[in-house]
Every structure is written in C-alpha cells, then in structure tokens.
Amino acid sequence: MPELPEVEVVRAGLAPAVVGARIAAVTVLDERALTRHVGGAISFEEALTGRTVVAAARRGKFLWLPLADDETRGGEAVVGHLGMSGQLLLRESGAPAERHERVRLDIRHPQHGDLAVVFADQRTFGSLAVDHLVPAPDGAAGGWGTDLAAVPSQVAHIARDPLDPAFSDARFRRALSAKRSAVKRVLLDQTVISGVGNIYADEALWASRLHPETPAAALSTRAVNRLLGEIRAVLERALAEGGTSFDAQYVNVNGQAGYFAHSLNAYGREGEPCPRCGRPLVRAQFMNRSSHFCPRCQRSVA
C-alpha cells in the first residue's frame, strides 16, 4: 500500500498541472471508485464540472484538491485515497483509456492547456469523493500543499505526519507514554501519527534499534526522540528517491516507479544479513502483515 512518500510524490506531481485548472468534464466509468462519496456518479460529476482547483493538499496518505467556492457550494474538495493499488495519472487530453481506469477528470489549465487526470485502480480499494471542508482542530494549515486551516471531513480524524511543520513532538511523546500496545502498532495508528505504514515502520524501528513488539509506554523520552528522528530520516530519503516500488502498481503521475526499495535495510529482507551486525534478519507475523527486524540489534524489552 502506498505510504507517505509515495502519496507525496503523487501530490507534488499533480500540483503544477491542477492548481488553477478548471474541471471541464467528469467521466465515471466504475462507481466502485466512489465508495466514500455521498451520492452516485451523477452527483459526483455534477459537483465537480465547472469547478476550479485551488490547491493540491495531503495529510498522511490522503490527498485532496480544494475547490473554489461558487454561489451554491463552498468549502469543498475532491478527496482521494489510493488504497492498495490506486493511481492518479496525468495524461494528454483525449488519451486512450488506461488499464483499470475508473474515473477521468478533463481539466483546462490557463498555462498548460487541456489535460486529463485519470484515477486507475486495479483492486478497487481506492476511492475519490467530493467532501466538505472542516476546520483543522489545531488551527494550523490542513496539510502539505495548502495554507487553509481546513481538512475534508473524511480526513479530520487523521493525525499530522512527522514531516508536517505543525506536527507536535510533545503530543506524540505523550500519546506513546499512554499506550501499552506494541510500538509498531502505534506507528501504524493513523490517529496518532499518519503516513507511516508497514515498510517505513520496519525501517525506522531497525534504525532505532527498537523491537517492533516493545510496549510503547516502555520507551524513554530519549528513545522516542531517536525513533522520531529515524522516521523522519527514512521518509525524507524515500521522498528523495521517489518512494518504494515492488511492482507496477505504485507509480507517480507520469507512470514512473520509485526506487527506494533498493535502499531498504530490514523490510522484505528475511534471511539476509543485517547491514549492521550481520545476523540474519527475521520475519514475524504482525496484525495480518509481517514485521522484519534483527533479533540481535533489536532486542525486546517487553
């Protein structure tokens, strides 16, 4: 599933093409792509046609395109979640349909001319929706790419991500100190910290020398600060390399895959030597997924 770096790469790729663009036409080919939209294809198309996109924003793994207000509507955005295999692609106007294409937005940009934003999704777990904006609980900008202190209602429960300027280290430390569950489980809780999925959690825990099953409340302030630093470092490195790709399902808006998979130290490397100590890395079942770690470098304190 795409994580913060992958989604941010998509947001950054969309922004120059969509900000300031008018949505000329909307075509819904598969209503399964609208599972989070209140209403069907007709209401989705009517809500967007003729509207102008004013920003391209992200919080955690959610993307949204705030829309200019009109006489009958105000404070709305197109919200996108990529799910496991969703793709948002930029194409020339009139380009042939993509494989697994679900929704197409034909846009007209004052500088770039006519383009198409295509939502394709093989497994149909991703979605698009028109949602109303609500005030950001902390009064800061809603997310990356917007100055507006508002978020879509569907995103209001999502915590800020650790690269967000408004992320509170102190609030994160307090949250961990109150959790008896495994630290990796807390990292995957998007109401505590957003954008960190299975891959980057394993990588940050390896870099921090923390066992994934260590109770969060057992971590010292120093350990939490070290963990936060490693989370930020691994996310920033992944952003620089365009995200992580293991197959053709994750691509940026131009259809190109990321390369951070070549830089992983723990995730997916079961049986290979730990880059730090040389002992074979192991894999353990975790929340219907897998954790990858070094049994020597990452000893449990549970």
Residue 109 annotated as part of some ligand binding site: no
Residue 123 annotated as part of some ligand binding site: yes
Contacts of range 216-224, beta carbons closer than 8 Å, 24 or more positions apart: 216/176, 216/177, 216/179, 216/180, 216/181, 216/182, 216/183, 216/185, 216/186, 217/176, 217/177, 217/178, 217/179, 217/180, 218/301, 218/302, 219/176, 219/177, 219/183, 221/173, 224/172, 224/173, 224/176
Residue 100 annotated as part of some ligand binding site: yes
Q: Are 194 and 4 in contact (CB under 8 A)?
A: yes
- Catalytic site residues? 2-3, 61, 289
Distance, in Å, from the CA atom of 236 to the CA atom of 255, rounded to the nearest integer, reads 21
What SS3 class is residue 282?
Answer: strand
Q: Are 63 and 77 in contact (CB under 8 A)?
A: no
Annotated binding site: 100, 123, 179
Annotated binding site for DNA: 100, 123, 179
